[in-house]
Amino acid sequence: MGTHLQDPKLRGGGSGNDDSKQVNTSVKSSFLKTHPSKSANHDVFLSFLGEDTGRNFVDHLHSALEEEEILTYMHRESNLSDQLHSETMKTIEESRISIIVFSKNYARSSKCMDELAYIMKCMDVRKHRVVPVFYHVDTPNVRNQRGDFEQVFSKHESINPSKVELRRKALRDASNLSGWDIQSHADG
């Protein structure tokens, strides 16, 4: 069984025969070149939609980060209580880096879109580092809200235009950042 973490695209090059230790070292050295924050309880916050990515790519990514002693926060709750929502936003704020895993249904999740908007706000205000991962989605579809991403916004445009515009901007801004593009692989 192959793992997406062994994909050379994630390491920025190299042969496909390298083991995941090299991926982990690469992740640690490239992500954590920020000034340490005394208030950071987590190094990395993972934003993802579990139904699209949770039991495969995100689990492997989380394990690789933790193996390198990179304290990583992830939760699987799709419907957050007000208290958990508040705690999640505080965790984003206190983390040094956010990895946003864009997937086919990511924008359909209000939780994910709230996280994304807050992550991008933290990037602007607190110099929070953000790394997008495009998991089986085309980057231009995310950036320009085409395909599945367009359908989500067209449904909500008339209900809350200001929130929709904030979410659209967050998607555009995040998808313009340097990140990883993970497409389908024969090994799963």
**Looking at the 3D structure of the chain, how many domains does it have?**
1
Is residue 12 situated within a structural domain?
Answer: no
Q: What's residue 76's pLDDT? A: 67
Write out residues in the chain with pLDDT < 50, as ranges: 1-39, 186-188
Q: What's residue 95's pLDDT? A: 93
Is residue 51 situated within a structural domain?
Answer: yes
Is residue 152 situated within a structural domain?
Answer: yes
Q: What's residue 7's pLDDT? A: 37
CATH number, domain of 96, equals: 3.40.50.10140
pLDDT in tens, 107-154: 988 889 999 999 999 999 988 999 999 999 999 999 999 988 888 887
Catalytic member of 68, 93, 94, 115: 115
Q: What's residue 9's pLDDT? A: 38
Is residue 20 situated within a structural domain?
Answer: no
Domain that holds residue 114: 39-182
Is residue 32 situated within a structural domain?
Answer: no
Q: What's residue 162's pLDDT? A: 85
Q: What's residue 11's pLDDT? A: 32
Q: What's residue 71's pLDDT? A: 93
Is residue 34 situated within a structural domain?
Answer: no
Is residue 188 situated within a structural domain?
Answer: no
Tokens 């192959």 belong to: 2
Annotated active-site residue 115? The verdict is: yes
Is residue 14 situated within a structural domain?
Answer: no
